[in-house]
Chains A and B, each alone.
Chain A
Amino acid sequence: MALPQFKQDATDARLDAVTVPEGAAWLTQARKDAMTRTATMGLPHRRDEYWKYTDPATLVAVDAPAAEVLDDDDAIFSDAKPLTLVFVDGVFDAAASDDLTGENLDIARLAEAGAQDIHWAKDIYGVLELAGQNPVQRPLASLNTATATDGVLIRATGPVDRPVCLRYRRKESGTDAVLHHVVRVEPGAKVTLLETGSAAARLSTVTEVSVADGGEFHHVRQQGRDHGRRMNTHTFARIGEGSVFKSFTLSLNGVLTRNDCVIEMLGDDAVAHVAGACVGDGDGFHHDDTVFITHDALRGESRQVFKKVLRNGAVGVFQGKILVKEGAQKTDGYQISQSLLLDDDSQFLAKPELEIYADDVACSHGSTSGAISEEALFYLRSRGVSEKAATNLLTLAFLAEALEEIADEGLAEDLRDRLAGWLDRHAG
Chain B
Amino acid sequence: MLEIKGLKVDLEEEEKSILKGVDLTVGAGEVHAIMGPNGSGKSTLSYVLSGKDGYEVTAGSATLDGADLLDMEPEERAAAGLFLAFQYPVEIPGVGNMTFLRTAVNAQRKARGQDELSAGDFLKEVRARAKDLKIDAEMLKRPVNVGFSGGEKKRNEILQMAMLEPKMCILDETDSGLDVDAMKLVSEGVNALRSEGRSFLVITHYQRLLDHIKPDVVHIMSNGRIIKTGGPDLALEVENNGYADLLAEAE
A interface residues (Cβ-Cβ under 8 A, vs B) = 373-376, 378-387, 389-390, 393-394, 396-398, 400-401
Contacts and interface: CB of A to CB of B under 8 A. Distances in A.
A384 B164 CA distance: 9
Given A384-B108, A386-B75, A397 B164 contact: no
Place the interface of chain B in its size category: 20 to 34
Contact of A387 (B73, B93, B103, B104): B73
B50 interface: yes
* Dominant SS among interface residues on chain A: helix
Given A378-B74, A381-B73, A393-B95, A386 B107 contact: yes
B244 to A, nearest CB: 35
B92 interface: yes
A31 B75 CA distance: 61
17 contacts: A373-B92, A374-B53, A375-B90, A378-B53, A379-B92, A382-B84, A383-B160, A383-B164, A384-B79, A384-B107, A384-B111, A385-B103, A386-B107, A389-B103, A397-B94, A397-B143, A401-B94
Contact of A383 (B52, B53, B78, B143): B78
Given A384-B75, A384-B104, A384-B164, A379 B89 contact: yes
Interface of B: 50-53, 73-75, 77-79, 83-84, 86, 89-95, 99-100, 103-104, 107-108, 111, 143, 160, 164
Contacts of B75: 381-382, 384-387, 390
Nearest to A395: B94
A373 B53 CA distance: 13
Contact of A379 (B79, B86, B103, B111): B86
Contacts of B95: 393-394, 397
Given A381-B78, A382-B74, 19 more contacts: A374-B53, A378-B74, A379-B90, A380-B100, A382-B75, A383-B100, A383-B104, A383-B108, A383-B160, A383-B164, A385-B104, A385-B107, A386-B107, A387-B75, A389-B103, A389-B107, A390-B75, A397-B94, A397-B95
Nearest to B145: A379
Given A376-B90, A379-B89, A387-B73, A393 B103 contact: yes
Contacts of B160: 383
Nearest to B166: A384
Contacts, number: 78
Nearest to A385: B107
Given A387-B75, A393-B103, A382 B50 contact: yes
A382 B72 CA distance: 11
Contacts of A397: 92-95, 143
B141 to A, nearest CB: 14
A384 B51 CA distance: 12
A381 B51 contact: yes
A394 B94 CA distance: 8
Contacts of A374: 53
Contacts of B111: 384
Given A386-B75, A387-B75, A380 B94 contact: no
A386 B94 CA distance: 18
Given A381-B74, A383-B160, A387-B75, A400 B104 contact: no
B122 to A, nearest CB: 15
A398 B107 CA distance: 21
A381 to B, nearest CB: 4
A387 to B, nearest CB: 7
A381 B52 CA distance: 9
Nearest to B99: A393
A357 to B, nearest CB: 35
A207 B50 CA distance: 54
A394 B90 CA distance: 13
Given A393-B95, A394-B95, A397-B95, A382 B78 contact: yes
Given A386-B107, A387-B75, A376 B92 contact: yes
Contacts of A376: 90-92
A413 B195 CA distance: 42
B89 to A, nearest CB: 7
Contacts of B74: 378, 381-382
Contacts of B51: 378, 381-382
A346 to B, nearest CB: 20
A38 to B, nearest CB: 43
B46 to A, nearest CB: 10
B85 to A, nearest CB: 10
B226 to A, nearest CB: 24
Select the residue from A379, A383, A384 with max chain B CB neighbours within 10 A.
A384
B50 A398 contact: no
A389 B111 CA distance: 13
